[in-house]
Amino acid sequence: MKRFWTTFRYTYQWFRGQILGWGIGIAALGLLIVAFYDVFGERQADFMKMIESYPPEFLAFFGTDAKGMMSPEGYLGMYGFSFLPIIIGFFAVLVGSNLIAGDEEHGRLDLVIAHPVGRTAFYFGRLVAFMGATVSILVLGWLGFCVLLNGSSLEITWGEMTLPFISSLAQALIYGTLALLLSMVLPTRNFASIISGLVMVVGYVLSSMASLNENLGTVSKLFPYTYFQGSEAFTNLNLTWLLALFGVSAIMALLAWWRFMRRDIRLSGEGSFRLQIPFHIQRKTT
């Protein structure tokens, strides 16, 4: 257990800068959004005119309509929560793909893993540090969204504000563990982060467009973003979706661990797919 905590402690310490950077960024966004709502309310009539001039497809992209936009849930959903899983998702993809493969590609893992720490303790120490960093960022962001709530006409409690952040955590974990799993399977961490990032962005676009096209709605169900619950979590948090996302993340994390336990540790650099190149001329070696 001590070996696990040592790895956790050092990894979490290395995340300090990122926790502050990402966390303060989300918190600042939250402060602005909540503070701006009352201005928005005071000039509701002007905003209604502007929103009604938007094409309905544009509003549908954010999962709302002109009337819904004026509600606290619709407002927060459009300006805050539709982007939150993407923001925290980028952090998760970058960190997840880098969590072990980053040190390996830099040639540092070889010596670290030669110490009597054990692959399992090392892996879970790093994984839990990543989860801790993600939670820390979301807590900072949540504080930013909550600080001005009491003086705002949004009429949302701190507790209710927690729910979309829990859903964002589920999103972050699924993208992070996907990136981690792919980094254990694929030869380069860049490739792992590109694929995970694509899953996130394509899911976001498809899910947003699903309200305009039923066929896209069917396809979007394959992507995790569809199961993100922003403002709708205030009143109707779908626990099944939430637990399913946590469950899939746990399965991917366990698969990544299983792979890490069995694979060779590269000395440094990226691996190779070892694909046979067609028409490759084999030179005679002496």
Partner 1 sequence: MKNPNNTPHNPELALEVRGLIKSYGKVQALRGIDLEVRQGEIFGFLGPNGAGKTTTIRCLLDMIRPDAGSIHLLGLNPKVDPVAVQALAGYLPGEVQYYENMTAEHQLRFYGDMRNGRADWKYVHELAERLSLNMKQAIKNLSKGNKQKIGVIQALMHHPKLLLLDEPTSGLDPLMQQEVLSMLREANAAGATVFFSSHIMSEVESLAERVAIIRLGEIVETAETNVLTGRSVRRLIVRLKRPVSNLSIENLPGVEVLTSTDETSFTLQVTGDMEKLVKALGDYPVLDLETDHPSLEETFLAYYKK
Query: In the complex, which residues of this chain contact partner 1 (CB under 8 A)?
Result: 2-3, 6-7, 10, 14, 106-108, 110-119, 262, 264-265, 267-268, 274
Nearer to partner 1 (CB atom), residue 2 or residue 280? 2
Shortest Å, Cβ 24 to partner 1:
21
Nearer to partner 1 (CB atom), residue 112 or residue 195? 112
Q: Which two tokens stand for residue 156?
A: 């949302």
Shortest Å, Cβ 279 to partner 1:
18
Nearer to partner 1 (CB atom), residue 21 or residue 247? 21
Distance (Å, whole) CA 149 – CA 126: 35
Answer yes or no: are the C-beta atoms of 15 and 131 closer than 8 Å: no
Reduced to 3 states, what is the DSSP secondary structure of residue 118?
coil
Shortest Å, Cβ 17 to partner 1:
10
Distance (Å, whole) CA 171 – CA 199: 12
Other CB atoms closer than 10 Å to residue 71's CB: what's the count? 13
Reduced to 3 states, what is the DSSP secondary structure of residue 34?
helix
Nearest to 34 by CA among 72, 65, 67, 83: 72
Nearer to partner 1 (CB atom), residue 34 or residue 186? 186
Q: Which two tokens stand for residue 123?
A: 């892996």
Shortest Å, Cβ 190 to partner 1:
18
Nearer to partner 1 (CB atom), residue 114 or residue 239? 114
Nearer to partner 1 (CB atom), residue 119 or residue 149? 119
Q: Helices (DSSP H) in the chain: which residue ranges?
A: 2-14, 16-42, 44-52, 56-61, 66-69, 72-76, 84-98, 101-105, 109-113, 119-146, 158-185, 189-209, 214-220, 232-236, 239-262
Shortest Å, Cβ 274 to partner 1:
5
Shortest Å, Cβ 49 to partner 1:
53
Reduced to 3 states, what is the DSSP secondary structure of residue 158?
helix
Nearer to partner 1 (CB atom), residue 120 or residue 213? 120
Shortest Å, Cβ 166 to partner 1:
33
Distance (Å, whole) CA 36 – CA 30: 10
